[in-house]
Amino acid sequence: MEVILRPSAEAAVRLVARIVARELRARPNLVLGLATGRTMEGVYRELIRLHREEGLDFSRCRTFNLDEYAGVPPTDERSFRHWMQEHFFRHVNLRPENVHLPDGMAPDLEAECRRYEEAIRSAGGVDLQLLGIGVAGHIGFNEPLSSLQSRTRVKALTPMTIRQNAAWCGGEERVPRRAVTMGVGTILEARWCVLLALGSEKAEVVARAVEGPITSMVPASALQLHPRCTVILDEEAGGRLALKEYCRWLFENEPEWDAFRREDRP
Ligand code: GLP
């Protein structure tokens, strides 16, 4: 795992957006794995800006979202499809046929999970997967106790996640109890995983995921097994890491980050 600590949320967000932009310019038909959540809002805002001001072209890009609530129609404001539409899709030139989310309204959700896996496979797999992290340690909706080899499936949400997502849905009682999510195993097959976490409320779970033991109690810890996983944090989210100094040093010194560093100091 490579853990990058940036001085502010804005710098962390900008770095993630610039990674996406660089990959997309290098490979216009990139298969991009997308995540929802407050953490991602700034990333989508920056990608929209790059599209408008610097001509970042999504016309051949294919996207696969991590998850979707079960039983919530796409027109419902709680649905991830609706959120993605508002925060990203409608502002860039992605083609509708290249945009994929699990269908939480499918009459046979198990068949839908198999279809989703197949769609990812036939696109050639995910090149770059964006991830947030839930306070319960989840990636996608892989709640604690998720098998670290799990595939796309229906998952029941933990009380902690329901509380976390209450504001999103307009109250705890309006948070759906189940979701369709890519599995941990599905996520681990992406060629590059980039996890973004911001703010002190994520500090403890980030430290457990990054420096703690690999355990299904913290599904994000499975990313330690991934051959190419970059975790990008602001100072607050990285506040509980033992290796803080090292993580700051990496961005300042590793040649891999040269270009990004230069852009950061115009
Ligand atoms: C939801 C999503 C996750 C996301 C998490 C964190 O549960 N299913 O993919 O990482 O929220 O959300 P936020 O970024 O709002 O903290």
> pLDDT tens digits, the chain, 266 residues: what are they?
999 999 999 999 999 999 999 999 999 999 999 999 999 999 999 999 999 999 999 999 999 999 999 999 999 999 999 999 999 999 999 999 999 999 999 999 999 999 999 999 999 999 999 999 999 999 999 999 999 999 999 999 999 999 999 988 999 999 999 999 999 999 999 999 999 999 999 999 999 999 999 999 999 999 999 999 999 999 999 999 999 999 999 999 999 999 998 887 65
Distance 255 CA to ligand 1 centre (A): 31
Contact criterion met (CB below 8 Å) for 99 and 63: yes
The pLDDT of residue 108: 98
Measured from the CB, is residue 141 less than 6 Å from ligand 1? yes
The pLDDT of residue 264: 75
- Where do the structural domains in the chain lie, given as residue ranges? 2-191+204-237
The span from the CA of 174 to the CA of 181, in Å, is 19
Q: Which two tokens stand for residue 198?
A: 């911001």
Report which DSSP code applies to 155: E
265: which residues sit within 8 A by CB, 6+ positions away?
none
Q: Which fold has domain 2-191+204-237?
A: Rossmann fold (3.40.50)
Identify which of 41, 68, 133, 158 to mutate to test ligand 1's pocket (most ligand atoms within 8 A of the CB). 133
The pLDDT of residue 265: 64
Distance 186 CA to ligand 1 centre (A): 17
Model confidence, pTM? 0.97
The pLDDT of residue 263: 80
Nearest CA owner, ligand 1 atom 3: 140
Measured from the CB, is residue 161 less than 6 Å from ligand 1? yes
Helix axes 80-87, 38-54, angle to 10 degrees: 40
261: which residues sit within 8 A by CB, 6+ positions away?
251, 252
